[in-house]
Amino acid sequence: MKRITTTFLLVLFLILGPSRLSWSDGVETAVELQEAFINVSNQVGPAVVSISTLKVRSGGILSVDPYLDEFLRQFFGSSSEEKVRTGLGSGVVIDSEGNILTNQHVVANADEIEVRLPDGRTFTGVVTGSDKRLDLAVVKIAAENVPVAKLGNSDELKTGQWVIAIGNPFGHLIADPQPTLTVGVVSALHRALPSALSRGTYYGDLIQTDAAINQGNSGGPLVNIKGEVIGINTAILSPSGTSAGLGFAIPTNLAKVILENLKKGEESRYGWVGVWIQPITKEVAEQLELDRKQGVLVYRVEKESPAAKMGLKSGDVIIALNDEEIKDTRGLIRRIFKLKPGTKVDLTYVRNGKEIEKELTIGERRGDGRAVQPTQREKTEAVQWRGIAVEDLPEEAMREWGADTTGVFVTGVKQSSAAYQAGIRPGDVIDEINNQSIRNLKEFYDVIKTVKKQVLVHTQRGFFVVK
């Protein structure tokens, strides 16, 4: 601690100068900061639990004879079943009723959940509700006199603020119920993890911190210096699998949107509009002859969705929600998520250079479509164009995107091609090229014979400019 204090004082002197800060003032400031960390540990630490998940599996020759198995279980306490520990994580008690907030991935697919409090008490936990899309779950324990942590307002966070991560990293090695505390700052806000890492989860509005987060920290709280939970630690980016100073937490205010539903065991309800959106690149703006690069581009509108009922179309540019400017896709998604179904908002968008404002009623979130992966097909001659191999829509694509889906199915893309560089991938469905509709392979072939130079390709995943 002496080394940390000395370093801290040196930084203060460099920033403020000797004339504005005496050594005694610096020591007092460092001690006050130290006391704040100690207070957070004493205040929140007792409410942070260790969560172990177990799977029950059958093994041994006894499972061949269920009658013998039952006899041995009743009379000798023996069974062919064994409990295998499948995961370790953390959680935080959020009310006196024993509700614990954690990550969905911590408790997913568990047959049994063991919750251990810092005071040594152990309870069987029951998942009352979980949401894979937001990676959040509530586990309830039948416990009395449990310490409770306070949920703070994550919208008030600023980059550079002190934060403390509390949890049970490497709980399988450190056999102690007392949680670990690490200190850092808010490194950035509204971070998004690559879609390849998300596996169907929305990791598009995360708090980034350099407070050490390791395996087992998942589900534990990220706390501000006042002892308020402002995030749930959920992921790290690290080549080694251990902390590299790139930790991420789900903001508390995002959790509050579905928290009551999770407690009651009800299905999560959060805002949904029914549009698929993408950023506006310079190339796309030029191809669509857009006057601006601000806002987000609509590339697909789901039928019977709130957006469809309002009149939004592919190619529209959303620029504002309730007169607040929309700068990027994450900003719009973040705001829609937090709105309750049934809420009425004013949506401003641009179509053919004209600015339009209409009232939109927020809908309820539904399941997401997933990219269809191409399958091996024998005796099929696929049309190839600019490195793209396509064929008529297979049945799996129709099931995925709807029976009325039209277009051609991308079965392959050469990695050296301009199409691959633009972002087109196997499994995409192309239904427009340069605003010319494509319903089938014949129409695709007719269109590609007429287009030259760079073209604007529309797929079920968005607009792409192929040079």
Helix (H, G, I), strand (E, B) or coil at 108: coil
- Kindly write down the DSSP assignment for every residue of 399-450, as one continuous string: HHH-TT--SEEEEEE-TTSHHHHHT--TT-EEEEETTEE--SHHHHHHHHTT
Rg (CA), the chain: 27
> From the candidates 135, 205, 316, 431, which is the catalytic residue?
135
Give the phi and the psi of residue 93 in degrees, each rounded to 5. -70, 125
| Measured distance CA(264)–CA(262) in Å, rounded | 5
Q: Specify the amino acid at residue 251.
A: P
- Kindly write down the DSSP assignment for every residue of 118-141, as one continuous string: TTS-EEEEEEEEEETTTTEEEEE-
142 in the Ramachandran plot: left (φ > 0), alpha (ψ -120 to 50) or beta?
Answer: beta
> From the candidates 90, 154, 187, 218, which is the catalytic residue?
218
Helix, strand, coil content of the chain in percent (nearest 5)? 25, 35, 40
| 49, 90 Cβ separation under 8 angstroms | yes
458 catalytic, yes or no?
A: no
Using the structure block, give the residue that is written with the tokens 């006391």: 35
| 122, 138 Cβ separation under 8 angstroms | no
404 catalytic, yes or no?
A: no
> From the candidates 41, 50, 52, 105, which is the catalytic residue?
105
**What is the SS3 string spanning 63-105?**
HHCHHHHHHHHHHHCCCCEEEEEEEEEEEEECCCCCEEEECHH
Helix (H, G, I), strand (E, B) or coil at 113: strand
218 catalytic, yes or no?
A: yes
| Measured distance CA(167)–CA(159) in Å, rounded | 22
| Measured distance CA(415)–CA(411) in Å, rounded | 13
Environment class of residue 330 by beta-carbon count within 10 Å: exposed (0-12), middle (13-18) or buried (19+)?
Answer: middle
Which residues are marked as active site? 105, 135, 218
